[in-house]
């Protein structure tokens, strides 16, 4: 649980009520994805590169989330991965990823999620305060949620404190971008990390990765290139479970680098990433 002060909220709004809405939206979206997964999922288009797919489900679920939110919270803004941005007047923004782990969804690999968070301030990880968030693991049917200062839960049960692991015994989650130049840079950084840790996992949903880190199923996590919707809900689950979520060289977490973990293992990973210039421009 963090001790961060909650910024002033609109009249009648509490962190608990925002969290409840995030959970209800993410789980409803998860039900839709489970119920309507076609036998063979096809690519409806590509985004940043030929290997960055979008499916009809990504679009349909974002539409569902936007329609529910504009009814429940008409004064709040919405930032969605598939571009359904809605302006608002309340100072709150819902940051949503309808399917985090689209490549897994496409192939039927069992790690994809719905991520719903609400932030105060600009929807930028360097400047926002994440108030509440929910990550729903669609295939496993498990749900993590958190409220600022109110702790994090998995299926309603509080996440227990996790003992930090030293770097050589750490299981480290990571992910790779969709551009070839970004991937070449990430592969170079990986050669510095992999020999020094227990092992690496590339599971394919950053939101789930951050929640696994929160519950101790990963010791450390790092990734370059995360967008606000990939990390908003998962980062709050992690920090409310007692982990740190940071960037390199004292920066806030964000698109340049997001690193999560605890204790000296986290500090040692940060040193390796900084020495490897994991935040250097790579042309991506």
List of residues contacting ligand IPD (CB under 6 A): 81, 97, 100-102, 175-177, 204-206, 223, 225-226, 230
The least CB distance from residue 115 to Ca ion, in Å, is 7
DSSP single-letter state for residue 281: -
The least CB distance from residue 254 to ligand IPD, in Å, is 13
Helix (H, G, I), strand (E, B) or coil at 252: coil
What's the CA gap between 219 and 216, in Å, rounded?
6
According to the binding rule CB under 5 A, does residue 150 interact with Ca ion? Answer: no
Among 97, 209, 268, 282, binds Ca ion (CB under 5 A): 97
How far apart, in Å, do the first and last CA atoms of the chain sit?
A: 36
CB 225 within 8 A of CB 190: no
**Phi and psi of 136, rounded to 5°?**
-110, 120
User: Between residue 50 and residue 69, which ones bind Ca ion under the rule CB under 5 A?
Assistant: none
> 183 or 262: whose CB is closer to ligand IPD?
183
> 1 or 56: whose CB is closer to ligand IPD?
56
> 102 or 170: whose CB is closer to Ca ion?
102
* Number of continuous H segments (helices) and E segments (strands) in the chain: 7, 14
The least CB distance from residue 177 to ligand IPD, in Å, is 6
Q: Decide the pairing of beta strands 151-154 and 142-147.
A: antiparallel
> 128 or 221: whose CB is closer to ligand IPD?
221
The least CB distance from residue 103 to ligand IPD, in Å, is 6
> 175 or 216: whose CB is closer to ligand IPD?
175
The least CB distance from residue 265 to ligand IPD, in Å, is 21
What is the per-residue DSSP string for 17-59? HHHHHHHHHHHHHHHHHHHT--SS----EESSSTT-EE-HHHH
> What letters, b where the CB count within 10 A reaches 16 and e where it falls short, cover 237-264?
bbbbbbbebbbbeeeebbbbbbbbbbbe
The least CB distance from residue 56 to ligand IPD, in Å, is 15
> 13 or 248: whose CB is closer to ligand IPD?
248
Q: Is 197 exposed, middle or buried (0-12, 13-18, 19+ CB in 10 A)?
A: buried
Residue with smallest beta-carbon separation from ligand IPD: 175
Residue 20 interacting entry, from ligand IPD, Ca ion, none, C-beta within 5 to 8 Å by type: none
The least CB distance from residue 36 to ligand IPD, in Å, is 18
Among 100, 219, 223, 282, binds Ca ion (CB under 5 A): 100
> 92 or 138: whose CB is closer to Ca ion?
138
Residue 175 interacting entry, from Ca ion, ligand IPD, none, C-beta within 5 to 8 Å by type: ligand IPD
**Phi and psi of 189, rounded to 5°?**
-65, -40
């Amino acid at each position: 649980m963090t001790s961060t002060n909650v910024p002033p909220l609109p009249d009648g709004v509490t962190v608990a009520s925002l969290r409840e809405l995030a959970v209800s939206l993410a789980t409803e979206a998860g039900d839709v994805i489970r119920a309507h997964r076609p036998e063979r999922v096809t690519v409806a288009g590509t985004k940043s590169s030929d290997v960055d797919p979008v499916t009809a489900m990504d679009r349909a679920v974002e539409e569902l989330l936007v329609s529910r939110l504009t009814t429940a919270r008409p004064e709040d803004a919405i930032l969605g991965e598939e571009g359904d941005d809605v302006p608002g007047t309340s100072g709150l923004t819902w940051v949503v990823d309808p399917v985090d782990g689209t490549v897994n969804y496409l192939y039927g690999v069992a790690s994809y999620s719905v991520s719903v968070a609400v932030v105060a301030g600009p929807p930028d990880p360097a400047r926002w305060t994440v108030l509440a968030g929910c990550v729903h693991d669609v295939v496993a049917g498990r749900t993590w949620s958190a409220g600022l200062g109110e702790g994090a839960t998995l299926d309603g049960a509080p996440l227990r404190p996790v003992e930090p692991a030293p770097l050589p015994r750490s299981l480290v989650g990571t992910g790779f971008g969709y551009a070839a130049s970004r991937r070449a840079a990430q592969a170079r950084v990986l050669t510095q990390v992999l020999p020094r840790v227990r092992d690496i996992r590339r599971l394919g949903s950053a939101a789930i990765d951050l929640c696994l880190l929160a519950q101790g199923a990963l010791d450390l996590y790092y990734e370059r290139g995360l967008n606000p919707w990939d990390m908003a809900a998962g980062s709050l689950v992690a920090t409310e479970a007692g982990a740190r979520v940071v960037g390199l060289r004292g920066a806030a977490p964000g698109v340049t680098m997001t690193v999560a973990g605890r204790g000296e293992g986290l500090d040692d990973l940060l040193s390796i990433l900084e020495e490897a210039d994991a935040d250097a421009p790579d042309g991506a």
